[in-house]
């Protein structure tokens, strides 16, 4: 599968981030805990050079706890502040305010020495489509101040949000990079729903997911779909179609329907806590 996707509004969003970078003290970057490296926008490192940085590993309730701990260490070693969040349930969300204050303590001290008091910390929050950014902001503020949706790219323009007297937040539209150098990154993003399903081949995606589960999470396919994991990935999809009664007219197996079931159940957490990359795999590919 060849992933190329860069709508015009994303070019505009990147330009807007560039223009607003001088106004902010800290960049908060939301990533999906199941694919922390693949769901990072590489442009942000360049855009936010010399700013304090906070990585939020969101959707930790859906990721493999052991792998999430590895990612936490990985980002801390690179000099980032790191926190785990689950925006939907609100877990870990409020605690991010204290981390922002801690990350900006040197800036606050410089202000104090200059006699500047009560100037709020200004944070920019960024994340690629569908990592849960709007849900996170709503949970943080405590009311629906940004529009949320399951489809990628709901946030359209710039919004300043006052959290309290100490912190102001600049929301940005979710942006992706112009092209995926590594097709595996594109595949992982597609699997978590950051690229619109309509433009992709769902059978191929499901087959790749089956292969990954077979190699990294043995027993899940057997338990959930009564599939024989010793078979190859195409045969396993066939077994899932058979066992879930995915059939078309003439009693032919409906592979597309079976593929949708596998993808949806992965995205809904019904297959369990699964991470699609480890620091070792992700950095090897990078």
Residues contacting residue 69 through CB under 8 Å, at least 6 positions apart = none
Which ranges in the chain belong to alpha helices (H)? 8-20, 43-47, 65-77, 96-103, 105-113, 133-141, 183-192, 202-216, 220-225, 233-243, 255-267, 279-285
* Distant-in-sequence, close-in-space partners of 184: CB < 8 Å, separation ≥ 6: 38, 285
Distance CA 8, CA 10 (A): 5
Cβ atoms 132, 59 nearer than 8 A? yes
CA angle 97, 91, 195 (to 5 degrees): 95
Binding residues: 58-61, 130-135, 174
Distance CA 81, CA 69 (A): 14
Annotated binding site for GTP: 58-61, 130-135, 174
CA distance 258 to 276: 20
Q: Are strands 81-84 and 52-58 parallel, antiparallel or unpaired?
A: parallel
């Amino acid at each position: 599968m060849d992933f190329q996707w860069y709508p015009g509004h994303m070019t505009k969003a990147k330009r807007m981030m560039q223009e607003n970078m001088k106004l902010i003290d800290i960049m908060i970057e939301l990533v999906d805990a199941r694919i922390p490296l693949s769901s990072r926008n590489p442009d942000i490192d360049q855009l936010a050079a010399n700013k304090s940085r906070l990585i939020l590993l969101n959707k930790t309730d859906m990721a493999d706890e052991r792998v999430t701990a590895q990612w936490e260490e990985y980002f801390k070693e690179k000099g980032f502040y790191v926190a785990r969040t689950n925006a939907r349930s609100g877990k870990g969300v409020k605690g991010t305010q204290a981390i922002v204050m801690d990350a900006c303590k040197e800036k606050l001290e410089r202000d104090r020495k200059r006699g500047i008091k009560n100037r709020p910390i200004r944070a920019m929050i960024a994340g690629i489509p569908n990592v849960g950014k709007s849900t996170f902001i709503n949970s943080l503020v405590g009311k629906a101040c940004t529009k949320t949706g399951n489809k990628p790219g709901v946030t359209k323009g710039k919004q300043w949000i006052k959290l309290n007297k100490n912190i102001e937040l600049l929301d940005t539209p979710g942006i992706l990079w112009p092209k995926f150098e590594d097709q595996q990154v594109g595949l992982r993003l597609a699997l978590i729903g950051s690229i619109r399903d309509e433009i992709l081949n769902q059978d191929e995606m499901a087959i790749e997911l089956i292969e990954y589960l077979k190699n990294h999470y043995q027993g899940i396919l057997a338990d959930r779909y009564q599939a024989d994991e010793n078979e190859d990935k195409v045969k396993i999809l066939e077994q899932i179609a058979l066992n879930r009664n995915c059939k078309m007219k003439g009693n032919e197996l409906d592979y597309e329907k079976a593929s949708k079931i596998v993808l949806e159940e992965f995205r809904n957490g019904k297959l369990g806590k699964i991470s699609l990359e480890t620091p070792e795999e992700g950095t090897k590919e990078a």
